[in-house]
């Protein structure tokens, strides 16, 4: 029991040293810098034509092969309908449903005013030039075109 005051004094001295060390480190520590969170890169939105294809829509695909629809010969049976198609720099071809227009491009449907092509898995609609919407400035000349001499 004679050593209890000495042991208590030693423990109190250790606690005093620990406290002084803690506060000196706090006082001498460099200032904390604000935490900078890196900005996340924006995610690109998925292609909407892919979503339209999921729900039965017709996607617009820009093909490397320019295809012009010159005419349609419609039959009572859709399998016997014929489309007159011109590829760039080639003569006109008469094609039916499921015929190959170019490599990877086939005719899926032939309608009264347009055809639907299967262009490497994506649907593409080609309309006859007569039924494409024309600018309003062209309407003044429409009457002049219809005036043909009759025999």
Tens digit of each residue's pLDDT (9 = 90 or more) over 81-133: 999 999 887 888 999 999 988 888 899 999 888 899 888 888 888 888 776 66
pLDDT confidence tier of residue 12, bands split at 50, 70 and 90: very high
What does the DSSP 8-state code read for residue 113? S
CATH topology of domain 58-131: SH3 type barrels. (2.30.30)
Tens digit of each residue's pLDDT (9 = 90 or more) over 19-63: 999 999 999 988 888 888 888 777 776 666 666 667 766 555 555
- In order of 20, 60, 74, 130, the CA distances from 83 in angstroms are 95, 20, 8, 15
Among residues 71, 67, 61, 64, the alpha carbon closest in space to that of 94 is found at 71
Q: Would strands 67-73 and 82-87 be described as parallel, antiparallel, or unpaired?
A: antiparallel
Cα torsion angle, 122, 123, 127, 133, sign: negative
Q: Note the pTM of the prediction, 2 decimals.
A: 0.46
């Amino acid at each position: 029991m004679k050593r209890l005051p000495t042991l208590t004094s030693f423990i109190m001295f250790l606690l005093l040293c620990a406290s002084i060390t803690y506060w000196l480190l706090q006082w001498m520590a460099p200032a904390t810098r604000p935490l900078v969170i890196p900005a996340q890169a924006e995610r690109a939105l998925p292609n909407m034509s892919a979503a339209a294809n999921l729900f039965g829509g017709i996607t617009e695909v820009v093909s490397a092969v320019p295809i012009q629809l010159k005419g349609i010969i419609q039959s009572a049976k859709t399998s016997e309908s014929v489309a007159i198609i011109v590829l760039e720099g080639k003569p006109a071809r008469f094609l039916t449903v499921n015929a190959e227009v170019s490599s990877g491009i086939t005719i899926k449907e032939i309608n009264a005013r347009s055809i639907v092509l299967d262009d490497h898995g994506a649907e593409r609609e080609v309309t006859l030039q007569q039924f494409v919407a024309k600018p309003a400035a062209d309407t003044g000349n429409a009457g002049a075109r219809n005036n043909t001499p009759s025999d």
